[in-house]
Amino acid sequence: MRHLLEIDDLDADELRDVLDRAKKPAEGVLRGRGVGLVFEKPSTRTRHSTEMAVVQLGGHPVTVQGAEVGIDTRESAEDVARTLSAYHAAIGARVFEHHKVERLAAAGSVPVVNLLSDEAHPLQAIADLLTIEAEFGSLDGRVITYVGDPNNVFRSLALAAGMSGAHIRVAAPASHPVPQVMLDRIAASGIDVAVHDRPEAAVAGADVVYTDTWTSMGQEAQAEQRRRDFEGFTVDDTLLDQAASGVILLHCLPAHRGEEVTAAALEGARSRIWVQAANRMHAARAAIWWLIDKAS
Ligand code: CP
Ligand code: NVA
């Protein structure tokens, strides 16, 4: 049984297959079948894009909030996985601890898709690649610079883009360095990350500048401190001017204008955030289709 808990659950050829499927319809793949979706955190894009992806595949999404299902409070992750496997062709889960999606995958008998954990956001990474490919034709040799908090979105992006031949750079403040365990995890896939502690040098010549919130879901109590820690890491037009002339700006959203990115940059001509958000649905459809194919 194949799962998508992090993007390198796919090898490079399989990732290519998923990206190609994202450009095709796949009506009927899930006809008469369900996909159970559990959200322990809020969501706009992931819930709507995944539900609509299931509809496009001919299936029926059943979404529940985390508290309703109560993974490890009402019953164990294992019992939830076994139960949902009896009704659904696949399970999607947005969780705090990454270990929970691993436990769902280990205990259930259907594919599990990680809809964001503290460590990874693979469906976002697929949408990111689709957006970059639409712009540049290919990832190969492109320079992708991530500015800000080296978080779940960064890890999946670095893995996905690195697997596709891009050069990865990251700029994070000394107070929030890229964790060594994350660099090791990325290096295990043969991907080299150039680490900077200032954004200016990191964006020089970059084809893609990517940023995400300084305060991820679950870290709200640290928001004020994080605003201070990440001062100087706001992506604005002056920073983008130092990148390659055809640079595009990506952000997984939700955005915090005036913090990790200025409103002007986000709304500017170099931004591709709405194409990127739209690609979430194509990414979800392709990934679920691929997983269902492998399971049958
Ligand atoms: N990018 C993303 O995952 O957005 P949501 O949190 O709204 O799903
Ligand atoms: N890093 C953010 C991404 C939200 C889509 C978070 O985990 O909250």
Nearest CA to ligand 1 atom 7: 44
Residue 151: which of 230, 246, 48 has the closest Cα?
Answer: 230
CA quadruple 70, 74, 78, 82: dihedral positive or negative? Answer: negative
Residue 118 CA to ligand 1 centre (angstroms)? 13
* Ligand 1 pocket residue status of 124, Cβ below 6 Å: yes
Task: Determine what percent of the chain is predicted with pLDDT higher than 70.
Answer: 100
**pLDDT under 70 in the chain at which residues?**
none
Q: Would you state the pLDDT for residue 27?
A: 83
Question: Which ligand 2 atom sits closest to the C-alpha of 118?
Answer: 7
| Widest distance between CA atoms in the chain | 54
Q: Residue 152 to residues 23, 108, 139, 201, 218: CA-CA distances in angstroms?
A: 25, 24, 20, 23, 13
Rg value, the chain, Cα:
18
Q: Would you state the pLDDT for residue 82?
A: 98
Residues with CB under 6 A from ligand 2: 116, 151-153, 212-213, 216-217, 252
